[in-house]
Structure 1
Amino acid sequence: MSGQKGQLVGYARVSSADQSLARQLEALAGADRVFEEKASAKDRARPVLAEMLAYVREGDTVLVKSPDRLARSTVDLLNLLSELKAKGVAVRFVDSPALDTATAQGTFMLTVLGAVAELERELIAERRAEGIALAKKAGKYDRAPKLTAGQVQEARERVDAGVPKAVVAREMSVSRQTLYDALAGRGRYAGLE
């Protein structure tokens, strides 16, 4: 390339179809091309992310509003950044210019911030689990059964008629374990008539 810089490629993501990309798209307005995705970042199996990764070339810069739009876990974020760096592609975060991967300081900061964010998510999950356990122990956390007594009876009749339990569970939109518990009268289904 004769001194010409690559493209500025934007990536915008929200977790669900009913969320708006508007704020991110506004922040990415200077990009030559923007990839828009409505999918959870809990894993990397995102089609638009894969398309963007295949599209970018050496010398390009990926522009993202914030690190959590690119990945949810530190491991995924660092893997994506490493993959892009290996292709000669830099990453810039609009909300955090100090995290520019073109600099060693930016890469270091991303690693530290990603680790802190992951720790925070794990602590929140631990506190939530502890709270649920305490509420259950105090008898305050009792979700209603997923199947009504009528649905359990219907399921019992269908199973007795030879319909596989897996099919009955799928058609009733419950797990097989829930169906097994309901048919056996275990857990929430004990004494349900």
Structure 2
Amino acid sequence: MSEHKGQVVGYVRVSAADQNEARQLKALGAVDRLFSEKVSGKSADDRAQLQEMLAYVREGDKVLVQSPDRLARSTTDLLALVEKLKSKGVALEFVDNPALNTDTPQGEFMLTVLAAIAQLERKTIRERQAEGIAIAKRKGVYDRAPKLTAEQIEEARQRVSADVPKTKVARDLGVSRQTLYAALTGSGKYAGV
């Protein structure tokens, strides 16, 4: 492992407010600066402490994280974060999985393999989605069904006739104003309803 010349920055994340980050803190050991997050299921952009850490780190720093799943929820997100840190000259070390550390040739190789797998996965998903859409179109079932039933449309017409604002009617029915207008005028998917 190469020597870093900057700060050792720790990042911990627990999924719920009632969870304790003590296990992660123990795994990281001594750090110069710690960023701790209690949040679940959010993208990297929505995690304030992660964004603050990314803004804080400088060339020569090393970020310590217990494991990849504490840093990112998907391979794609993980690779984007690794690239962001790498572009700043910041090393990334996973305490529980040193094979992915960015300051070793083996870690660089493993991350390259992960990137290739993620790219293949994205392409495969797009191909399957396109195939599914093509099959559905051939069967004539690709269009979405109208969101409003005939009864709901009749109720909406009565409420609009009673001077209830269309915005309120749409909100009460759980649809957009555009959907309500299409239903009231019998256009688009609502033709003949």
Q: TM-score range by the shorter chain?
A: 0.5 to 0.7
Backbone CA RMSD of aligned residues: 4.2
Determine whether 1:40 maps to 2:36.
no
How far does residue 129 in structure 1 lie from its aligned partner after superposition? 3.8
Q: Which runs of 5+ in 2 are unaligned?
A: none
Amino acid at match of 1:70: A
Which residue in 2 is equivalent to 1:30? Answer: 27
CA contact (8 A) 1:13 1:69 kept: no
Letter of the 2:53 counterpart = M
Query: What does residue 119 of structure 1 align with?
Result: 120
Deviates more, 1:146-155 or 1:77-86: 77-86
Report the equivalent of 2:63: 61
Question: Unmatched 5+ residue regions in structure 1?
Answer: none
Cα displacement (A) at 1:158? 4.5
Moved more, 137-146 or 30-39: 137-146
Return the alpha-carbon distance in structure 1 between the equivalents of residues 19 and 189 of structure 2: 41
- Where 2:183 maps in the other structure, the secondary structure is helix
Q: CA deviation at 1:159?
A: 4.5
Query: Equivalents in 1 of 2:26, 2:187: separation in Å?
Result: 56
Q: Distance in 2 between matches of 1:143 and 1:26?
A: 48
The match for 1:51 is 52
Partner Cα distance (1:21, 1:144) in 2: 42
Q: Aligned pair in 2 of structure 1 residues 29, 85: CA closer, same or farther (>3 Å)?
A: same
SS of the equivalent of 1:122 reads helix
**Contact 1:37/1:49, CA 8 A, preserved across alignment:** no
Query: Secondary structure of 1:152's match?
Result: helix
**Which residue pairs with 2:165 in the alignment?**
163
Q: Give the length in aligned residue pairs.
A: 182
* Secondary structure in 1 matching 2:28: coil
Q: Identity rate of aligned residues, in percent?
A: 47
Amino acid at match of 2:120: L
Look at both structures and tell me which one has the larger radius of gyration over its CA atoms: 2
Question: 4+ runs of 1 displaced by more than 6 Å?
Answer: none
Q: In structure 2, do the counterparts of structure 1 residues 168 and 62 end up closer, same or farther at CA, with 3 Å as the change threshold?
A: farther
Cα separation, partners in 2 of 1:179 and 1:62, compared to 1, 3 Å: farther
- Deviation per CA, 1:97-123, whole angstroms, max 9, x where unpaired? 322111244235424422431331232
